[in-house]
Amino acid sequence: MEKMGCWDVLDIERMPDGCVPIGCKWVLKLKFRDGVYDKHKARLVALGYMQEKGRDFYETFSPTCNHVSIRLILALTAMPGWQALDLDAEAAFVSSVWGDDEVVYMKIPPGFTDHYGKGKVLRLRQSLYGLCQSPLNYYKLVQEVYEKAGLKRLKADDCVFVRYENNVIGGPSTLSNEDLLKQGYFLNKNTVPVEKRIYKSCPHSVAALIVAVYVDNNACRFNCIELVEEFEAFLKEDGRIKMLREGKLEWLLGVRYYFDEKKGAASCNQKSNIENILNKYGMRDCNAAP
């Protein structure tokens, strides 16, 4: 976090009069990938409840994709050849830089007093988890970077980004959302011959990448791996958002998803949430209602 320039170390006497540094704590958890233990994870979280509006932050609202959009995406793309990926932004909030009008001071993280010395305080330069304005700052960064990567933000949902490209040699150079819906491209299951494809991995006449963003989780639905690779390559070159492939999309917002790429079928359930509720209230072995 020091290398990323998250903060400046100052003597506490240099703080302006009336400023109160907020606290922070470490949150420790186990990280699993595809249901298998991956690593231990430590996250530094600021105690945002100590912030005051108008002093430490101004705006906090940050949009997130809704379940209606997710269901619509699944309905439109329930076709053979479509795949789903789970992309996770690493250290997402730390990636966003604050404006000059936002000034927040934070106490030294637990366990690092000897490292920085006594009588020191941190002036934050980038967002941290726990701060009231962090989700909004990160969303602004996502919007800027994703649109530069060639994705377009939907008017109906600010957290759904799409990219459509013609995949037939000699076809139209540009496509709009209206074109796709009116001409029924999503309902067309005809396979384009390989020699006529622009993107060889895509069997359809339209190559598509759809990204639904929920804070730092990115649920991707696509029928063209080249578009995904171009998106990832741009993020790597830009350097502000570090994106990791978590594997095929299986979980999102507590819902378990299943995809059959050959048949194009998609299904979901909340069995895990139901089991957790039953375990919590000691009703795991209760009888089912008729």
Q: Which two tokens stand for residue 248?
A: 């095929």
- 40 Rama sector, left if φ>0, alpha if ψ -120 to 50, beta otherwise: beta
Query: Is the pLDDT score of 4 beyond 80?
Result: no
Query: Is the pLDDT score of 290 beyond 70?
Result: no
Sorting pLDDT into bands at 50, 70 and 90, what band is 92?
Answer: confident
Q: Taking all residues of the chain, what is their mean pLDDT, rounded to a whole number?
A: 85
Stronger pLDDT, 62 or 149, i.e. the higher one:
149
Residue among 24, 23, 20 at smallest CA distance from 55: 20
- In tens, the pLDDT along 119-135 reads 899 988 888 888 888 88
CA atoms within 13 A on the CB side of 6: 20
Query: Is the pLDDT score of 150 beyond 90?
Result: yes
Do 56 and 132 contact (CB within 8 A), yes or no?
yes
Taking the whole predicted model, whether its pTM rises above 0.75 is answered as: yes
Cα separation, 111 vs 174, whole angstroms: 55
Measure the CA dihedral 68/88/47/21, to 10°. -120
Query: Is the pLDDT score of 163 beyond 90?
Result: yes
Cα separation, 83 vs 262, whole angstroms: 10
Cα separation, 151 vs 141, whole angstroms: 14
Give the per-residue pLDDT at 177: 66
Residue among 129, 118, 110 at smallest CA distance from 43: 129
Cα separation, 287 vs 224, whole angstroms: 47
Do 218 and 232 contact (CB within 8 A), yes or no?
no
Q: Which long-range contacts (CB under 8 A, 24 or more apart) does 160-163 make?
A: 160/65, 160/69, 160/73, 160/210, 160/211, 160/212, 160/213, 161/210, 161/211, 161/213, 162/208, 162/209, 162/210, 162/211, 163/208, 163/209, 163/227, 163/231
Characterize 199-221 residue by residue with b for buried, 16 or more Cβ atoms within 10 angstroms of its Cβ, and e for exposed: bebbbbbbbbbbbbbebbbbbbb
Query: Is the pLDDT score of 288 beyond 70?
Result: yes
Q: Which two tokens stand for residue 218?
A: 């990115």
- In tens, the pLDDT along 232-250 reads 999 999 988 989 888 888 8
- In tens, the pLDDT along 31-83 reads 776 567 778 888 889 998 888 887 777 777 778 888 889 988 888 888 888 99
**What average pLDDT score do residues 92-109 get?**
82
Sorting pLDDT into bands at 50, 70 and 90, what band is 184?
Answer: low
